[in-house]
Structure 1
């Protein structure tokens, strides 16, 4: 994981080669200390409020297994959206892997609560032809924890290099057969990010959330970004009010695939991943 430069005014450009090497190799990279702890605490407050609200609305939160939810949100519902979407490392990673015309198509958060179980190994969606045939990555997921993650909090686990695996006998193109599990477990890396760290990964790299044996939840923000050839925007409903859109820098506006509205509408979560609902012991 890289370390953020101490002074943003003298921060060097992030090199394309290590970004490409990391995401095309292991399938995940990270930047330590991208944001200050106070900024992250503010994000955590916003997520806690949005989570409580989502749990009260039918379709507001999607189950991702026992005691585990995903909530898609409106960008303007969190105070740090512009900071995140325009962070130099985020921009550099998107441009390096997805090209200059990348589009932000999703923002939301995962919450593994106390008692959440091991998820089955999975991809977040089926691998597209761009990857299976063209051997190109056409989407990325950025993750930002709102807490300091410890071993007992159900850390994210990933099997490096598996973004290139052919989906032979994968259920729904996403869930590999149990016979593959020993290979993933041998390669598995558990991630223990701290407040302020950010990661970027291919959602095709085989991964899972592990059992949360602590008494704390582990919220993590998710930012989904596509290359022009991807179609993940179809799975989401990114809404922005015209008033808020007008306040955004033009450099950010051109990277948003969104629906402009006069008033925000409640998001009914649509990207259900049925195979995650049972969890594993």
Structure 2
């Protein structure tokens, strides 16, 4: 996984708390990211043939949850010093990996409405404490035409009774997010950590190229997001994992992998916006 394997700096952790997102360029090699992309697209093609495996997140945009062992680079990712360091610094030493999946905006994907991925918990709105992180890794070098991920820094602390389902700010709030918004032109090998509560959206993919992005979800103990997912690994895979990783990977250990029935659907994203 040759790349920048340095641990996070204090500035990285401060940036995450201040802006709701921080990144490490070149954490992995481009070749490593290419292998990740091959695995993702293989699983994506399979998922389109299985009922409920690929969940729509807007026109021509899909989200797929996957079994960790189907990614050749899974152990590289979850043992990378920047990833483990950010998890421990923000979520505490007993952080838990609860989700592995990927988002694929295909050509023709439209702008999503501004949103967060789930309602803000009391620990965040009341105590300003983050209880979950989402790590993102692109498998392509993103251009402005590909529908970059766009995020409004600092909005992880936003709280309003006007948010529909606690996740979707009304359109009257959108001009503020558009003024704050930063489009992420990430490259193969880059990794970012963000609060899923930071207001964000996928933008329109006007290119002829899909933009697959891996998502790794990590919780502080008791955050509860594991209830939306069903991580499982085979006994053979579990035995090969580093022993210390077992306590960070609460999952079902099975003889044979079972199809994943996705439980984290986001109805408000199905239609998208112009």
In the alignment, what sits opposite 2:120? 127
Runs (5+) with no aligned partner, structure 2:
none
User: In 2, Cα distance between the equivalents of 1:278 and 1:38?
Assistant: 35
The answer to whether 1:107 aligns with 2:100 is yes
- Displacement over 6 Å in runs of 4+: none
The 2-side partners of 1:213 and 1:62 are apart by: 21
For the pair 1:178 / 2:171, whether they are aligned, the reply is yes
Question: Which structure 1 residue ranges, 5 or more long, are not aligned?
Answer: none
Structure 1 residue 272 corresponds to structure 2 residue 265: yes
- TM-score (norm: length of structure 2): 0.97
Establish whether residue 257 from structure 1 lines up as the match of residue 250 from structure 2: yes
1:96 matched residue in structure 2: 89
Contact 1:41/1:146, CA 8 A, preserved across alignment? yes
Distance across 1 between alignment mates of 2:26 and 2:144 = 20
Matched, 1:46 2:39: yes
Deviation, structure 1 residue 240: 0.7
2:13–2:22 CA contact under 8 A, matched in 1:
no
Counterpart in the other structure of 1:225:
218
Distance 1:14 1:273 in 2: 32
**TM-score, normalization: structure 1?**
0.95
Q: Secondary structure at the match of 2:146?
A: coil
Asked if 1:246 is matched to 2:243, the reply is no
Alignment-derived partner of residue 195 in structure 1:
188
What secondary structure is seen at the aligned counterpart in 2 of 1:25?
A: helix
What is the rounded CA distance, in whole Å, between the counterparts of 1:170 and 1:20 in structure 2?
28
Q: Deviations over 1:39-67 (max 9, x none)?
A: 11111110011000000000110000000
SS in 1 for 2:101: strand
For 1:247 and 1:58, locate their aligned partners in 2 and report how far apart those are by CA, in whole Å.
31
Shift of 1:119: 0.0
Deviations 1:124-145 (A, max 9, x none): 0000011011110000000000
Deviates more, 1:260-269 or 1:110-119: 260-269
Partner SS, residue 254 of structure 1: helix
Does structure 2 retain, via aligned residues, the 8 Å contact 1:30–1:198?
A: yes
How many corresponding residue pairs? 272
RMSD: 1.0
1:84 corresponds to: 77
Q: Given the alignment of the two structures, is residue 26 of structure 1 paired with residue 26 of structure 2, yes or no? A: no
> Matches of 2:80 and 2:232 in 1, distance apart?
21
